[in-house]
Amino acid sequence: MRITCPHCGNRSLDEFIYLGDATVQRPDPARPDALAAFVDYVYQRENPVGRHRELWYHNAGCHAWLVVTRDVRTHEIFGVEPAKEVSLSEKTTGAAR
């Protein structure tokens, strides 16, 4: 598998480290059900088939966190975005959460 880093270009898998699900959102600690929400946030993960959004770290390259949209069955990659931009746009649009 190869990942096209938006900064460095097309690179081999051995330059990257996999973190996991990019769709989870850190809950607001002030929420009344914060404890349960954090248990879900930390421990509960879906195990989807097909297209998934994941966090990858370009460890042996530009050290950027990336959000990779990938088919976990075929390894086909549909998009790679800098996690910083994803996070900023979620903040400005107030998406998810």
Partner 1 sequence: MANRTLELRSAVPELSRNSRIGRQDGPARLVVSEMTGLSVVSIAARKGQSGSLQGAVKKLFKIELPNTPRRVEAGGVAFLWAGPDQWIAITDMAVHPDFDRELVAKLGKFASFTDQGDARTLIRVSGPASREVIATGVPLDLHPRAFQPDDVALTHASHIAVTIWQIDEEPTFVFAVARGFARSFWHWLSDSGSVHGIEVSPGT
- Return the structure tokens found at 71: 């088919």
Query: If binding is defined by CB under 8 A, does position 21 make contact with partner 1?
Result: no
Binding mask 37-76 for partner 1 (x = CB under 8 A): -----------------------xxxxx------------
Q: Does 77 bind partner 1 (CB under 8 A)?
A: no
Give which of 40, 59, 51, 55 is closest to 78, Cα–Cα.
Answer: 51
Q: Identify the CA nearest to 59 among candidates 14, 4, 2.
A: 14
Q: Distance from CA of residue 86 to its chain's centroid?
A: 9
Query: Is the Cβ of residue 24 or residue 64 nearer to partner 1 in the bound state?
Result: 64
Q: Which residues bind partner 1 (CB under 8 A)?
A: 7-9, 11-12, 14-15, 60-64, 82, 84
